[in-house]
Structure formats: structure tokens, C-alpha cells
Amino acid sequence: MVILSNQVEVRAFAKINLLLRVTAKRPDGFHEVQTVLHGINLADELFFEALPPDVASRLTLLRGAAPEFERNLIGRAWRLLHEEFPHAVHPVNVRLAKAIPSGAGLGGGSADAAATLVALNRLFDLQLDADALERRAAQLGSDVPFFIRGGCQFGAGRGELLERLEPLEHLHGVVARPDVEISTAQAYGAFTAGTLDQPLSKWELAGRIAAMRRGLYAGAMENSFERALGFDRTEGPYAAVRRVRAELIEAGCVHAMLTGSGSAVFGVAPDANRAQEIAERMRESQPFSQAVRGVRQGWRWIEEDPQVR
């Protein structure tokens, strides 16, 4: 085993979906999607320390809540590499500071899994390139490959078939999350043949992305889950999410939409200053309201990116 450093520290960025179209149910039980994912600067922080081979890996929470190591995607990512490189990948002590809420559609668990693959690759000198890491990430979940490179990408298939896009310049907004968690499995289970969407053609997709680059988000953003889960109803389990979306528009966002399968809502702001103002106003009714901006990567070494989130 070669350990380049006894500890590595990584910041794992969240994502939003600027477009998410669910188009078909697959024979394997998953769904076909078309999605445009973009990284944002809301981030978890993970600290990895190599341990001797005769002790068990462990996870310590510095902030927030998460499953224990064996039930966490962090643990699954470690196990994946340990089984492939049993003499190289030793147990680790992981300290995790959560900032990305769970059950929100922001990809926090997937971001942590990707950051774990990246961190262990460096910690144990596995010398895996980004393509190799993405292949392993796909075994952990549909969203995990996105976070290896991050930035802005178009996703097809289950979301794991990725095409890199130039990140959107001046993407600013507010992420607000009501006190509601939405299970991804529950959300996909709401789709029936009648609620699935037709796929967009490559020309329609190109037009949507071009509109976003011009700041015309209202006509370009779309999320199939809003229809399938009945977010336009004034009552029911998702009424709180619908209210958050309306509050973001009232507070000054040019457009707002559920991200992923929810429950977080992303509102596009005209600029960084307005995003801060809107977030402060939103906190009066929605405590988790964060001004965010787009980022060009899925993760960063903390020593290279020491700024406070």
C-alpha cells in the first residue's frame, strides 16, 4: 500500500436539475430520463484518515444527520474500492460535516459517494482517472457519476449517461426546502403511463439550453415530478413544496422549480445580491433557504478551496 498523505479533505458540492423529464419505465425497474444537472456551491465537507488494516472503518458526524457507515453511500463507496483493491484500500476514519439536506433532491448522498471515491483514490494512490472513477460511481447510483466531474452536464438513460456542457455563466439563485422529505423511490412510483413525458428531440434540448444561457429560464426549465406528484394541488402532502415555490417567485425569483424528486425548490435570481436578499426574506418562513451560485466542478480539495461555504 502507498499512502501519499495520511489524511485528505474534500468538499462535495450539491446539484440542481434545471431540466428533468421522465420519459419511460425500463424493464430493470428504473426510469429513462432527460436531465440537465448543474453543480451549486452548497457543499458537504468530508475528512478521511487512513487507519490500520486490523480496525473497522468508522463515520463521525460533525454536523447534520446521516446513516451510519455501513448503511451510508460513503461506506458503500469504500467497500466497492476495498473489494477491488483489498491490499491497497485500508479502513478509514471519516468525519462528515453535512450541509446538504437529505430527501431534498440535491444529491447530497451521491455527492458524498463521489467525493469518497475521489478521496480514496488519492489517499491510497490508486491512480484511477476520471473515466475509471465514473464507471465505479455508476455502480453506486444514477446520480453519482455526475459528481466526479460536476459542472453542467446533460444526463440520459437512468441519468448516468453524461454529456458535458459548458457551465452557465452567472447562475445565481436560492435553494429553499420545506420540512418535508421525499423518498426517491416513492416519487418515481407516482409515475404511470399517463404521466410519463415524451422525450425531447436533440433540437428541442439544444433550444432549452440556449434559452437558459440567455437567462430565459421560465420557458426552458421543467420537472416531470411536479406533475406526477401533484404539486399544483392546493392541498395534500406536497402542498408545502408548492407554497415554497410560490414564495420564491413572490420574493423576487424570475422562476422557481422543484429540483430532482424534491423536496427542495430552486429559484433563479437576477444576480448574487438579489439571491442573498431573497434568501434572507425566505428564512422568515423557510429556515433552510440558501443563496447559491453555479460551480464548475463536483468537488474540490479543501486545501485548494478554503473559502467558507
Find the CATH number of the domain harbouring 178.
3.30.70.890
pLDDT of residue 235: 66
Confidence of residue 237 (pLDDT cuts 50, 70, 90): low
Does pLDDT of 234 surpass 70? no
Number of domains in the chain: 2
In angstroms, rounded to a whole number, what is the distance separating the alpha carbons of residues 226 and 190? 11
Does pLDDT of 229 surpass 90? no
pLDDT of residue 185: 84
DSSP letter for each residue of 120-149: HHHHTT----HHHHHHHHTTT-SSHHHHHH
Write the pLDDT tens digit of every residue in 36-74: 999 999 999 999 999 999 999 999 999 998 889 999 999
**pLDDT mean across residues, the chain:** 93
pTM score, two decimals? 0.94
User: Are 17 and 159 within one domain?
Assistant: yes
User: Are 19 and 137 within one domain?
Assistant: yes
User: Are 16 and 141 within one domain?
Assistant: yes
Mean pLDDT of 209-220: 95
Task: Catalogue the active-site residues.
Answer: 15, 143
In angstroms, rounded to a whole number, what is the distance separating the alpha carbons of residues 162 and 156? 7
Residue pointed to by grid coordinates 437558459: 212
In angstroms, rounded to a whole number, what is the distance separating the alpha carbons of residues 100 and 292? 12
Quote the domain boundaries for residue 83.
7-165
Does pLDDT of 107 surpass 90? yes
Mean pLDDT of 239-268: 94
